[in-house]
Amino acid sequence: MARRLSWCGHANVMAADGSVGLFDILCRIWLKPGKTVLIEEPCYDRVVHLLRHYGANVIAIPMEADGPALEPLNAAARRGPVFMYTVPDFQNPTGTTWSSTKRQHLVDLARTHDFRIVEDSPYRFLRYKGAQEPSILDIGRDVTVQLNSFSKVIAPGLRAAYLIAPPHTISAAAKVAESTYVTPGNFALSVTGEWLRRGFLGDQLAALGHLYAPRLEAMVSALDEFMAGHRYVRPDGGVFVGVTLAHPVDAQRLRKEASNAGLDVADGDGFFVSKPSATFSRLPFSSMDEVTVRRGVEVLSALLGRISPSTKVEQVDPE
């Protein structure tokens, strides 16, 4: 990582308790009510909530198997956005990875229309097969800031994250941070720093790949077998697979019946700017063994079969 970011000095980095907190700081610096922000749709629900809190005019760009749909992205870029927020690697909540072509296209749009890109990369290191795409920061550091977190690769409860940005952005972010929480949690950051100094990252990523890859395969295989009639991406990493249901369902009834069956189904509406007619579900796999993953998908399929009719399966492979 240090070799890849050889241009990046101390003035380009700010550490904090979590990437959501850093994104909140960027919103405080850049946003005023009514300003336009672009996001992927579906999008990480905490980001949707924060943008609503700050009164942003949010334009959601539909996602395809290899990133955003270009026609609506091109149209939205002409509407004067302040920035676009994206999780281009194993996106939360769909699992989608942007192609290098679409990453370059977004950088070109940002340069042409003078807006920033906020690249959130907490899952980038969690690739279990296939070739790594270049980060958007690598392609266009003149228009991109990057958020990253160690909670996905060290421990979920370890609140340690960092922002990579131009020095003037780091300076402005530090001033906002000092006026709100004074200092981040130095214990967690010190633990992270020592962990990295001892060279544990490489072995940890290999161990996570060994643990998570079979769980991802179990999830996709179970979807192939049981989730007929629904659409999903087949990711090469990350911790989620997002499923777009073939038909709207009564989400409240589904969650209630799932709970009665011992299955926790999250509310998918939070990932959308407007209510999506109860057609989306984010399925995590990292915290369960393969047997549990398969059983969970099987139970969900049975519940959906009782609530709505099924049709022929549509699988979406990244290009």
Interval 262-282 mean pLDDT: 85
Q: How many CB atoms lie within 10 A of CB 111?
A: 12
Residue (of 139, 131, 45, 94) closest to 284 by Cα position: 94
Interval 66-75 mean pLDDT: 98
Burial of 232 (0-12, 13-18, 19+ CB in 10 A): buried
Beta carbons within 8 Å of 271's beta carbon, 6+ residues apart: 41, 42, 43, 44, 45, 48, 93, 280, 282
Q: Which long-range contacts (CB under 8 A, 24 or more apart) does 111-116 make?
A: 111/140, 111/142, 111/143, 112/77, 113/77, 113/78, 113/80, 113/81, 115/38, 115/77, 115/80, 115/81, 115/82, 115/83, 115/84, 115/143, 116/30, 116/82, 116/83, 116/84, 116/143, 116/144, 116/145
pLDDT at residue 2, rounded to an integer = 47
Dist. CA 247–CA 290, nearest whole Å: 27
pLDDT more than 90, % of the chain: 78
pLDDT at residue 269, rounded to an integer = 86
Dist. CA 162–CA 25, nearest whole Å: 12
Say if residues 263 and 300 touch (Cβ distance below 8 Å).
yes
- Give the DSSP H/E element, type plus range, for residue 209: helix 201-226
β-pair partners for 63: 68
Judged against a pLDDT cut of 50, whether residue 54 lies above it is answered with: yes
Interval 278-299 mean pLDDT: 93
Interval 60-74 mean pLDDT: 96
Report CA Rg, the chain. 20
Q: Which residue has the higher pLDDT, 147 or 18?
A: 147
pLDDT at residue 69, rounded to an integer = 97
Interval 281-299 mean pLDDT: 95
Query: What are the tokens at 304?
Result: 């959906």
The strand order across the sheet containing 280-284 reads: 280-284, 240-244, 231-233, 314-316
pLDDT at residue 5, rounded to an integer = 67
Residue (of 69, 68, 64) closest to 85 by Cα position: 68
pLDDT at residue 291, rounded to an integer = 97
Dist. CA 297–CA 290, nearest whole Å: 11
10-197 and 205-316 in the same fold? no
Helix (H, G, I), strand (E, B) or coil at 91: coil
Confidence of residue 23 (pLDDT cuts 50, 70, 90): very high
pLDDT at residue 314, rounded to an integer = 41
pLDDT, tens digit, 9 for 90 and up, residues 203-250: 999 999 999 999 999 999 999 999 978 999 999 999 999 999 988 888
pLDDT at residue 189, rounded to an integer = 92
CATH architecture of the domain with range 205-316? Alpha-Beta Complex (3.90)
Dist. CA 254–CA 300, nearest whole Å: 9
The greatest distance separating any two alpha carbons of the chain, rounded to the nearest whole angstrom, comes to 57
Beta strands in 17-138 (DSSP E): 36-41, 57-64, 67-68, 83-86, 116-120
Confidence of residue 4 (pLDDT cuts 50, 70, 90): low
pLDDT at residue 156, rounded to an integer = 83
Say if residues 95 and 241 touch (Cβ distance below 8 Å).
yes
Q: What is the pTM of this model?
A: 0.92
pLDDT more than 70, % of the chain: 94
Q: Which fold has domain 10-197?
A: Aspartate Aminotransferase; domain 2 (3.40.640)
β-pair partners for 83: 37, 116
Lowest mean pLDDT among 39-53, 70-84, 248-262: 248-262
Say if residues 117 and 103 touch (Cβ distance below 8 Å).
no
Confidence of residue 277 (pLDDT cuts 50, 70, 90): low
Q: Where are the domains of the chain?
A: 10-197, 205-316
